[in-house]
Amino acid sequence: AMAVRRCKKVDLKRIAKATGGSLCVSLATMDGEEAFDQANLGYAEDVSQERICDDELILIKGCKARSAASVILRGANDFYVDEMERSIHDSFCVVKRVLESKSVVPGGGACEAALHVYLEKYAMTISSREQIAIAEFAKALLVIPKQLAVNAALDSTEMVAKLRALHHSSQQFPDLAHFKWYGLDLTNFNVSNNKEAGIFEPSMSK
């Protein structure tokens, strides 16, 4: 048997959720005695204590209720581990957003460029002062692809100009409609078909 002292409340809740157990604040009954209901017990195939680096960790494997997992990060120093933690957290958040939205759109500024071209043309059909607001909003959408290009140390003016030209062609000519998938590919430092490259974003973020 194994007993653990001073376990954080948040960890207790996670263990109970994963193993199917229930948290018991006290063993006291209404009759002033002590008793324990076995229905409150959780189940796991293996509970062991292992030493990883300089820490003693308790590993719970084969949980009954849910398939939970922990990620153990190790690195040369605390700064390296903190950076890994931030990167993994961002990745998990992206997966979470995709599962919540249940749909994706091409990334790399493709949506922003397409909306910019569409709204810019739509603004020219408005003969009132709303035209200025729509045109300015369309212009503001280009901040996303511009910043992406700057972050990759690319010429943002040239990259955004190529992106605008492609999306204008996709909306103007039906035989060039496949250009709507084009966005910035910062891995290869060019404008490419992000659908084929597998560069997507959760539609909820848009």
Whether residue 167 is predicted with pLDDT greater than 90 in this model: the reply is yes
Higher local confidence (pLDDT), 4 or 129: 129
Task: Give the predicted TM-score (pTM) of the model.
Answer: 0.64
CATH 1.10.560.10 fits 104-205, yes or no: yes
Q: Give the distance from CA 135 to its chain's centroid.
A: 31
φ and ψ at 28, to 5 degrees?
Answer: -70, 145
Taking all residues of the chain, what is their mean pLDDT, rounded to a whole number?
88
pLDDT tens readout for residues 46-80:
888 888 877 888 888 888 877 777 888 888 888 99
Q: Which band of pLDDT confidence, cut at 50, 70 and 90, is reported for residue 33?
A: confident
Tokens at residue 25, please? 């604040």
Which CATH fold topology does 1-70 show?
A: GroEL (3.50.7)
For 114-148, give the secondary structure using H, E and C: HHHHHHHHHHCCCCCCHHHHHHHHHHHHCHHHHHH
Q: Which range, 7-16, 23-32, 129-138, has the best average confidence (pLDDT)? A: 129-138
